[in-house]
A = this chain, B = another copy of it.
């Protein structure tokens, strides 16, 4: 019965995070130009399927040393060589599903950064490499026992690196991988003129952007709360902290972003990205501060990135997941302290080491993977294809085919 409850609990979390992938899709559909909407949709669902393969056959084993191949292990509840048992009711199977939905967030995050000009197959190959090897390497260090990383952090900082629901493991890693990808890929055609002029490329569809944000917001409560992974470990604190950080992110981005709908709907996500790491140990008022800072940070980072630094990260996934994730990982070492109303068990140094490790690891891997692909297969659409749009070039259909027949 208790195992059944845990399976049910983790299943609901899995379904909610699976739904978030639809959110990633529509956030991208709404932000890119019409001529690249189909490509956004196809990338997200295909990346999810490819991630399932990569994580099932390789990644999960890299992270946790679990081998899914043996029939006996999967179906009969036998214990495999590494001591992971596939208990009755298939708890370990649904836990795999849950963790996969996190792993698959990596390509979904990157997808928004490289939108509108990447080739399809090299990008799909990158997905396979990232989910099979790169992401689980760091995941296993933080959430598993890989390389004795947590022992190392504890020996230096007095406490292990705490990342409850993945501000660093998922979001910062995804966001800093995306930075490498975006730099390797270069800006969209016509975005930055040689005379220094920055040409705005307007989003196509704010309602779809908002729909994507809402789907992500709702699913996030599964992402965060179900990270407890058992009914016994569940805590309403995670829920209220996620709520407070989200509200803070919305209100801060409203003020700093001057009523802009894109900033507001991404501001909610910024707060949620930042609260993942410490949502189980911060006071709700701490979560409110963390989320508010994240909302403002996103607006600032997005504007700097696009206008000043001329990094053409289409959805702003580096500011959103990269910067706000990094902030969240470090902030857990501040607002998680008992002195600031938190539950403790963390140190600032430990959070700093863990957070910076993730970011540096991801940045290097991003340049390596996408750089490697750039100089071998090539990452970029032909100029003519980019001009026509990825939809017609790659998928031979537009997002609104009926309209084309009237032209």
Q: Are B89 and A239 in contact (CB under 8 A)?
A: no
Nearest residue, chain B, Cβ from A400: B205
Q: Are B207 and A259 closer than 8 Å at their CB atoms?
A: no
CB A149 to nearest CB in B, in angstroms, measures 28
Query: Would you call A172 an interface residue if the criterion is a C-beta within 8 Å of the partner chain's C-beta atoms?
Result: no
Which residues of A, 49-79, contact B by the 8 Å Cβ criterion? 49-50, 52-53, 56, 68, 71, 74-75
Q: Please determine whether A56 and B93 come into contact, CB atoms closer than 8 angstroms.
A: no
CB of A90 within 8 A of CB of B18, answer no
**Which A residues, 243 to 267, have Cβ-Cβ distances below 8 Å to chain B?**
243-244, 246-248, 250-251, 254, 258-262, 264-265
Q: Say yes or no: B33 contacts A402, CB within 8 Å.
A: yes
A284 touches B68 (CB 8 A): yes
Q: List 28 A-B contacts (CB under 8 A).
A: A4-B230, A10-B236, A15-B218, A18-B218, A22-B218, A33-B402, A37-B206, A41-B261, A45-B264, A46-B251, A48-B250, A49-B247, A49-B248, A52-B244, A71-B341, A74-B284, A75-B283, A75-B341, A75-B342, A75-B343, A93-B235, A97-B243, A100-B243, A202-B402, A204-B403, A205-B399, A206-B398, A260-B396
Docked complex: A3-26 residues within 8 A CB-CB of B: 4-5, 7-12, 14-16, 18-19, 21-22, 25-26
A265: shortest Cβ distance to chain B, in Å?
Answer: 6
Count of chain A residues with a beta carbon within 8 Å of a chain B beta carbon: 110
Which of the 9-residue segments A187-195, A208-216, A296-304, A354-362 touches chain B? A208-216
Contact with B along A177-196 (1 / 0, CB 8 A): 00000000000000000000
Q: How far is the CA of A341 from the CA of B112 in the complex (A)?
A: 39
- Mark contacts of A220-237 with chain B using CB atoms, 8 A cut-off: 1 yes-contact digit, 0 otherwise: 011001000011111111
A22, B52: Cβ atoms closer than 8 Å: no
In Å, the complex CA distance between A218 and B19 comes to 6
